[in-house]
Structure formats: C-alpha cells, structure tokens
Structure 1
Amino acid sequence: MIESIRIKKLKNKKIIFIALDCSVSKAKAILKSVPKVRSKKYEIGIKAGYQILYSDKGRNFIKSLKGYKKFIDLKLNDVPSTVKNGVISLRDLKADYITIHASAGFDAIKLAKKYSGKTKLLAVSVLTSMNKKNLSEIGHTKKLDKIVIHLSKLAKKAGAYAMICSPHEAKKIEKLSKLPSITPGIRLPGDQSGDQKRIATPKFAFNNGAMGIVMGRSLIKGNIKNNFKRLFQHLNS
C-alpha cells in the first residue's frame, strides 16, 4: 500500500529531461533557448553525462544550474567500493539523481545508496540502444523483458529510487517491481530513431507509466522553441 501511494505522488508532475550530451558552451546556448514551462503537469530537468562532467568547466556549470531537476548520467558500473567512491565524488554537485547500472549488483547499489546523501539512485536496466540480438551477442539467453524485470526487482531490494528503462517496460516495472521509471529513447512523431532501438513518443511513455522522459535530438536539434511547441502540442493532443 505504501509503495502504491509513493508512485501516485510521483505521478503528480512528470519530468521532461533535456539530454545535454554536448559541450558546456553548447549546453548554455541550448538552455537559453528553452522556453519557460509553466505547467501543472510537467517540469523541466537536465541530464548531463560524460562530455559535460569531464570538461574543464563542467562541474561548475552543473552546480550553477537553478530551477531544473538535475540528473547526472554516468551509469556507474564497477566493484562496490569503486562505485561508492564514484557516488561520493559526485555529492558536491547536489544532483537530484545519478545513474548506476543495475548489473553492478545488489551490493554495489546498496553501498551507493548508503553514500548518496539526498541524491536518488536511478538503476539502469538494459540500454535502449540494445535489442534482443545485441543481448544475445554478449551472452544473455533470457528474453529482454525478463532481464529488465529481474534487474528492477534486484534494484528495488537494494534501495534504488527508480529505474531507467525503455518506454515499453515502464508499466510492467511499476506493476511487478513497484518502482517508477525514467525512460530514454524518446522521439517526437516522425523523428529519426538515430542509435536508439527501443523507442517511443513522449505521450506513449507517460501513458505507459513513466515518471520522467529523457529527450535529446528531438528537442535540441534545429529550432528549440519550435521543438518544445511540437512537444506540448503532441502531449496535449
């Protein structure tokens, strides 16, 4: 009962994360073009990964951001003590979320949770750039959705806050693992999939139970203000 209440509260406001997989100067230009969103349904966040975090001015840029949910996407995956040290090294950024691969294992997730402070852990299931064939190539014999559910249950037990998964798996994870999801692999209708394989539209993802979505190319390529206009027209259609 407690878990169902928790998920219901998370659904009150959905998060649209802008994927800033770019330089700091490009990220600043992108955010200047992002329209202010005043919505009872949605709020805007940013996702920052390797390119920003490992640049000279990246950490200061992340610290300087105000008014956004901050999501650090390094997908930590190592022995538990190394993952713990990675989490500790990120605490000064005061991010809302950081990612860890669920496949790092129960002990790594549990230890990361212990040292994460107020930052919430998002456990990555199977990358949305991978499909059944790709999993087979690295030795997995189980069906993709079974792997995702198995990892989500493990992450739940270890203390993860939510899952990173494809939009197609969010509802099943919520039902079977009692965890909310944030979903990458999001494209506006008609946009190219790029290197993503398990993709869906923003509306599908939210209707399928996602608490948040991650969008890169569909929002930041071309005219950003027009892209946001398309996004909200799509969501409200």
Structure 2
Amino acid sequence: MKRKIIFIALDCSISKAKSIIKSMPKINSKKYKFALKIGYQIFFAKGGREFVKSIKNFKIFLDIKAYDIENTIKSAMLSIKDLSNVEYISVHASSGIKALKVAKKFAGNKKILAVTTLTSFNQKNLIEIGYKKKLSDLVFLQAKNAKSAGCFGVICSGHESLKIYKKFKINTITPGIRLPGSKLNEQKRVSTPLNAFINSKAYGIVIGRSITGNIKKNIDKLLIHLGE
C-alpha cells in the first residue's frame, strides 16, 4: 500500500526548526510517512538555503509559491536544482498554465505542487481582491490548469480535495489541517487529518501549529487520531 504523506510545517526560525527536527521521534508506520515543509521564514533567512541543504533523513517540500512570468519561474527552478533533498516545490496556479509547464520542465526531478486558493481565504476575501467567481469554481479551474500543465499535485483545502481528486485524477495536498480541539488561527477552510485522508482522499496534509509545540507528544496524538 502506498503511504500517505504528512508534511510538518516548519514556519519558525532556523533555531526552532533545528530543535523540532532533533526532537522528532522515529516513526514506523505502514500507512504514513513524514516530510518537512519549509517556507519563506526559513528559506529567505540568513543561512536558510544552507540549512535546507543540511537537513538529513527527511524529504522537503519547499513552499515558495512561485508566482511570476515564465522566464522568472524558469530561473527560480534552475536556482534550486542543487537542493537534492527537496522533493516538492510549490508554484501558484494563478501564474498560468504556461508558467506551470515551465516550472515542471526546469525543476528536474522535483515535483511541482500548484497552489490554488489559500485556505485562509473565503468568498468575502476573493471579492475584496476583485474575483467574481465562486470560490470553489476558482479552485476547480486552478486544479484543471494544474492537471493540464502536468503538475504532480495541487494544494487545496479539504473542502475541495475530493471533488478535485475525482474530477481531475490529480494528487491533492491539504493545508489548514488542525487536530480536533486545536485553534483555527487565521485559517477559514480547515479539516482534521483523518477527514482529509479518509473522506477527502488527500495524498498529503500539511500540519504545523497543531503539532510543533511538543513535537513528540503531538505526533503520538496525531497517529492515535489516525488510528495508528
């Protein structure tokens, strides 16, 4: 059975990330594997790139949400080809089909994940920035474009994941994941890990603040929640 993937979001300082990685328990699961998601805070920090290269024993999802013209996307992909432990890179679907295709072409063996609409957005937020489409319609269009471009997967909320998986046969990764009882913070379209994997058919989830406090205790709690 192909294992589902759980991305631990390291949205913190480099020193905090080092502490989290050091404290992570050895996990033996037949159903799930763990990887790390690294975004702006670490990658753009002083020494961030070197820190990413230094990480051992974990595959990395580099969440840079690249959003630009094709030539700039090409340059960005080429500039990170040397990061051999990076397996996934995010590119914003709003860059367009051509930019997504360019990202896939020049990312080497790295998998492109197309970001749809942020899980911190709701319909009101879309209207505020000038979108007239229904939020779910916009997400489905973005997913369709990602599929057309040959992306490995799309990043979407658990609310849209199942329909996208069924309609476009593309991997879905769902952020906005919270353990039962956790604070929502700025997230609006959220899901629990179990719901995302079982009901929404997600390939992977991204979980951060629900788990990165006491990492060992919270991973145990997560695995119990998932029936492990």
- Aligned equivalents of 2:8, 2:71: Cα separation in 1: 31
Aligned residues: 226
Q: Report SS of the residue matched to 1:214.
A: strand
Counting only pairs closer than 5 Å after superposition, residues 39-118 of structure 1 correspond to structure 2 as: 39-94=29-84, 95-118=86-109
Where does 1:132-211 land on structure 2 (aligned, <5 Å)? 132-207=123-198, 208-211=200-203
How far the C-alpha of 1:56 sits from its partner, in A, is 2.2
After superposition, the C-alpha distances for 1:65-121 in whole angstroms (9 at most, x for unaligned) are 222121000100011111111111111112100000000001111111110100010
In 1, the alpha carbon distance for the partners of 2:65 and 2:11 equals 14
Provide the C-alpha distance between the structure 2 equivalents of 1:139 and 1:164, rounded to a whole number of angstroms: 22
Structure 2 gaps, min length 5? none
Offset of residue 230 of structure 1: 1.0
SS of the aligned residue for 2:62 comes to strand
State the shift of 1:203 in Å. Answer: 0.3
1:132-186 alpha-carbon deviations (Å, 9 max, x no partner): 1101111111111111111111111112110000012111111111111111000
Q: What displacement does 1:21 show?
A: 1.0
Moved over 4 A (4+): none
* 3-state SS of 1:96 partner: strand
Whether the 8 Å CA contact 1:163–1:180 is kept in 2: the answer is yes
Partner of 1:124: 115
TM-score by length of 2: 0.96
Q: Deviations over 1:31-86 (max 9, x none)?
A: 11111111110111000011111122211221122221210001000111111111
% identical aligned pairs: 52
1:13 is aligned to 3
Distance 1:60 1:39 in 2: 30
TM-score (norm 1): 0.93
Output the CA distance in 1 between the equivalents of 2:215 and 2:102: 39
Contact 1:128 1:198 in 2 (8 A): yes
Unpaired runs of at least 5, structure 1? 1-10
State the 1:190 CA deviation. Answer: 0.3
Q: Letter of the aligned partner of 1:42 in structure 2?
A: Y
Query: CA contact under 8 A between 1:22 and 1:52: conserved in structure 2?
Result: yes
